[in-house]
Amino acid sequence: MSSLPLIAGNQTLLSDLQQMRKGNHLPHALLLHGETGCGKKTIAKWFAMLALCEHPDHAPCGECRACKLIAEDAHPDVLTAEHSGKRMGYLIETVREIRAEASVVPVEGANRVFLFTDADGMSIQAQNALLKSVEEPPPHAIFVFTTETVGALLPTLLSRMTTKAVFPVTRGECVSALLQKGYAEQDVQLAVSRFDGNIGKCIAYLSDEDLRLAADTAAKLSQALANRNEYELLRLLTAAAGDKDRLKKTLLLLDTQLRDAAVLSLDGDFDRLGCDRSTAQALSEDMTPRRAMQLHACITETLADLEGNVGAVLAVTSLCTALASR
């Protein structure tokens, strides 16, 4: 059985990298950037297979020993830097260890791959500590970073890297990938209606009950807002106030939906929506940039209140008043 990870879309990116391997000029430092959930870590793993696969002409083959070991996270030449701290950064010690490892010759193949996933929280100090290794890497060392935005890394570090964007896929690609993973058709359709072509978020929705409830409530809140139904807004928010953590997730998702509706109001072809199209359409008809800013500010303020000592019911009551007023 092939051990290749399932990757939807992004075919140009994959074939570009495959061409590099065939031509024997893989980058020594690669940055994969794109929104959370769009598959950067999966592609990073695929890239490690590409670099270490025993069959350069059709790498990654998914069948050789190297590919299989990487699939099982057991390849001695693929090292993932461990996160630490609240911001999911990296300790200077961790960076130093990786630097030391980078000078060690590969155990099995021709390369050693070092992964820094979700590197958005990487401190300037840690990035500087890594600069020299990325600037003048040992011939066998390959560094792979994943971030949400390119700007998360220092220009000095970026200038030494090949940067590649990872995109969310189309709804159709997302549906077929999720079906291949064995999820039920009905659930898949619901997940895609919430998170479009963001496979990671769809999987989280399908496997995390809490996120599912939050996303469903957020979609209903958008609907109530579109219908200007203040009573329904208050009912939904009060019910959600019972679980503070879930309430926060709900409000963050609502914020995204309102932002998407604001974009839709400016660009009628925009199709990345967190709620169903008719709701987004109704919301967007009512949306001006000014109103979008106001709504965003209300939600941000409520989230800050929830972080502080304000009771959840009180916080949602004033949010409801703010959302309903215009």
Under 8 Å between Cβ of 257 and 153: no
**In the bound complex, what is the minimum distance in angstroms from residue 32's beta carbon to Zn ion?**
20
Name the residue nearer to Zn ion (CB basis): 30 or 67.
67
Residues with Cβ within 8 Å of 295's Cβ and at least 6 positions away in sequence, in order, are 255, 258, 323
**In the bound complex, what is the minimum distance in angstroms from residue 180's beta carbon to Zn ion?**
21
Question: Nearest to residue 111, comparing CAs of 21, 214, 229, 35?
Answer: 21
Name the residue nearer to Zn ion (CB basis): 50 or 273.
50
Site residues (vs Zn ion, CB under 5 A): 53, 61, 64, 67
Give the orientation angle of helix 199-207 with respect to helix 185-195, to 10 degrees: 120
**In the bound complex, what is the minimum distance in angstroms from residue 112's beta carbon to Zn ion?**
16
Name the residue nearer to Zn ion (CB basis): 64 or 215.
64
Under 8 Å between Cβ of 205 and 194: yes
Q: Where are the beta strands (DSSP E) in 269-311?
A: none
**In the bound complex, what is the minimum distance in angstroms from residue 26's beta carbon to Zn ion?**
14
Tell me, letter by letter, the H, E, C secondary structure of 228-267: CCHHHHHHHHHHHCCCHHHHHHHHHHHHHHHHHHHHHHHC
Name the residue nearer to Zn ion (CB basis): 106 or 200.
106
**In the bound complex, what is the minimum distance in angstroms from residue 30's beta carbon to Zn ion?**
19
Name the residue nearer to Zn ion (CB basis): 68 or 246.
68
